[in-house]
A and B are shown apart, each in its own frame.
Chain A
Amino acid sequence: MLQARRVRLKPSGLAGRILLALLLSVICAAALIALSGHDPLAAFAAIARGAAGSEHQIGASLNRSTPYLVAGVGVALCFRGGVINIGAEGQIAVGGAGAAATALAFSAAPAPIAIVAALLGGALAGAAWAGVATAIHLGRRVHEVLATLLLNFVALLLVQQLLAGPLGQFGAGFLQSPLMPRSTWLPRLPGFDAHPGFLIAVVAAAACSFVLWRTPFGFALRVAGSSRLAAAYAGFSLARLTWGAMLAAGALAGLAGGIEVLGVHRRLIEGFSLGFGFKAVTVALLGAMEPLAVVPAALFVGLLESGSLAMQRQIGVPSALVTVIEGLTMLFVLVATVARK
């Protein structure tokens, strides 16, 4: 029906098409840079230098990529199962609050125990928030996108409320928690100005890849993602798959929030994760919903973002350009991967 042609493309061409989509958005970005009266090549060079020019900058880029990667693999897992979870934004924020609350409660514990407890607290809080969305989605048959999207706003306000009340630092002037106990700070990697969050993130991606490709749950999830009918016919419980994917994604998003709080800010700050959840969707898309491919996708976005600040400082091209590239990349990748369905 209609003019929309059904195109069948081999999965092997997928990586090529995604790279093409990336190239197209970079070309558009170059045009925008030229429009501002600057030299695109010089601007890109400034981005590259700013992103990876020194060990300090590499560390900053890795820190930047970490929450996108951790939350992004969770989003990829959900999308693979046909569950469009765009609630990472709220789950990260709630996870950060959960980690902060746990860290403050464990202030007397020795460092490794306190860190593990705080990160677990973050993951649990994120999973719980994803659980609320899942319960509304499955229990009341509300579209999962609307449930997760609306709960994002509730989550951000909830964290603000917590910061204005029990978690807040009295008299700080703006919404933030007291400094986390030193025992819960993530250590710095020797030589780099990075916390070990990126390593945790890569392990999470590998674990998700294993679950997706080497376990019965992952198989059922992939079947459900390609055809709900086939999954139901095979006797897989769609409700159980949805719960599994959503709770895993929520826990990962919560972990991302916890890592950001303990590794970067060392306190909970209002809006610390603003836009992270949407970036998680961006990197999941760019990684074609393949957990291991989300690693380079998140690195790309992280490098781009930390490099763009240097570009703005040195050449004067506004760093908002990165947001344009992210939006364009998402659109082009959507078009490039749509034939997979």
Chain B
Amino acid sequence: MIEFLAATIRIATPLALAALGGILSERAGVFAVGLEGMMLAGAFAATVGAWASGEPAIGMLLALIGGAAIGLAVAIVAVRFRADNMVTGLAVNILSLGLTSYLMRIIAGGGRPVNIHLTPLAALPIPGLADIPVLGRLLFTHPPLTYVTALGCVALTLFLGRTQAGLTLRATGENPEAVFASGANPLIVRMLAVVSGGAIAGLGGAVLTLQQVGTFTDGMTSGRGYLALAALIVGRWTPWGAAAACLVFGAAEAFELRLQSFGVPVSSYIIQMVPYLIALAVLAGLGQSSKLPASIGQPLQREH
């Protein structure tokens, strides 16, 4: 059972971190379809950074930068030039897939992907707390980025709910004209939100490479960015809600892995559909009374 819960948390962590980045973007009014590309860029940058420098911390820093770079592309095309958010997101996902695969092959020269094997980050038991019988193993014996994710939930909740900047960000997602009237520039707010959201999602990608797999392969996020997008919808654009949704998705996947090992005749494909079906059901249930930020996806127009 503990194994199952631990697997749930492990699978949920990269999703949750990416979802936090997505919340920042969507609450400011920009659809976060580009999460997949941001995660992938982060995963790539983290691997190469940690491999080249021997320092996981450098890898994490580069993951933030890699994700932010994809975020910047979205910010320029979708916010500054007012292109369709969704199609822009799709475009950066394709770009990120191509760029990471390409760079991985030219780093070493010779056209073959460079062979990288990193030691995954070890668990850091929190002194004292980790010794609590069951809970200690479950909650306080994790690799560093898992704690970062939990702290990120707290920080983002406080930021959105308790700070002036968070209020401005939420207002930009709901009613950018009001933000403009109050003297702030919603264009800048959106761009900053998308870029910093990208950085966080990039770190989510780094969880995969630095903490779990130890290497980078082409397109290794394989849809996790979209899953994170589904999670933040299911979690109704709140950090804790999204994290809970990620845990549910993680549990579904952990459950599926168990089933496979026990040979239970329930199709793994059907179980893998569950997260997407839940997201659709939640969206359908929300209907028009949705918690979707009111001005999301709408370009900022000059007033006449």
A residues within 8 Å of B by Cβ? 1-6, 32, 35-37, 84, 86, 136, 139-143, 145-147, 149-151, 153-154, 157-158, 160-161, 164-165, 278, 281-282, 285, 312, 316-318, 320-328, 330-331, 334-335, 338, 341
- Given A1-B180, A4-B300, A145-B31, A334 contacting B81 (CB threshold 8 A): yes
Contact residues on B (Cβ < 8 Å of other chain), bracket: 35 or more
Q: Chain B residues near A335 (CB, 8 Å)?
A: 76-77, 81, 83
B303 touches A1 (CB 8 A): yes
B-side binding surface: helix, strand, loop or mixed? helix
Q: How far is the CA of A318 from the CA of B82 in the complex (A)?
A: 33
B105 touches A318 (CB 8 A): yes
Interchain Cβ contacts under 8 Å between A and B, 5 examples? A2-B186, A37-B109, A136-B284, A149-B229, A320-B105
Q: Chain B residues near A157 (CB, 8 Å)?
A: 269-270, 272-273
- Given A2-B186, A4-B80, A84-B84, A327 contacting B283 (CB threshold 8 A): no
Tell me how many residue pairs across A and B have CB atoms closer than 8 Å: 175
Q: How far is the CA of A141 from the CA of B77 in the complex (A)?
A: 27
- Given A4-B187, A150-B279, A285 contacting B87 (CB threshold 8 A): yes
**Segment touching A, from B6-14, B90-98, B148-156, B208-216:** B90-98
Q: How far is the CA of A84 from the CA of B82 in the complex (A)?
A: 15
Q: Chain B residues near A161 (CB, 8 Å)?
A: 267, 269-270
Of all chain A residues, the one with the shortest Cβ separation from B37 is A327
- Given A35-B106, A36-B106, A150 contacting B276 (CB threshold 8 A): yes
* Min CB–CB distance B108 → chain A (angstroms): 11
A32 touches B94 (CB 8 A): no
Name, among B91, B285, B286, B288, the residue most crowded by chain A CB atoms within 10 Å (CB to CB): B91
Q: Chain B residues near A321 (CB, 8 Å)?
A: 98, 102
B83 touches A334 (CB 8 A): yes
Q: Does B223 count as interface, using CB distance less than 8 angstroms?
A: yes
* Min CB–CB distance B195 → chain A (angstroms): 16
A140 touches B283 (CB 8 A): yes
Q: Does B280 count as interface, using CB distance less than 8 angstroms?
A: yes
Of all chain A residues, the one with the shortest Cβ separation from B98 is A323
Q: Does B50 count as interface, using CB distance less than 8 angstroms?
A: no
A84 touches B87 (CB 8 A): yes
Q: Beyond the given A4-B80, A164-B267, A323-B98, could you list 8 further A-B residue pairs with CB under 8 A, ordered by the A residue number?
A: A1-B177, A36-B111, A84-B86, A86-B86, A140-B287, A161-B267, A320-B218, A330-B94
A330 touches B180 (CB 8 A): no
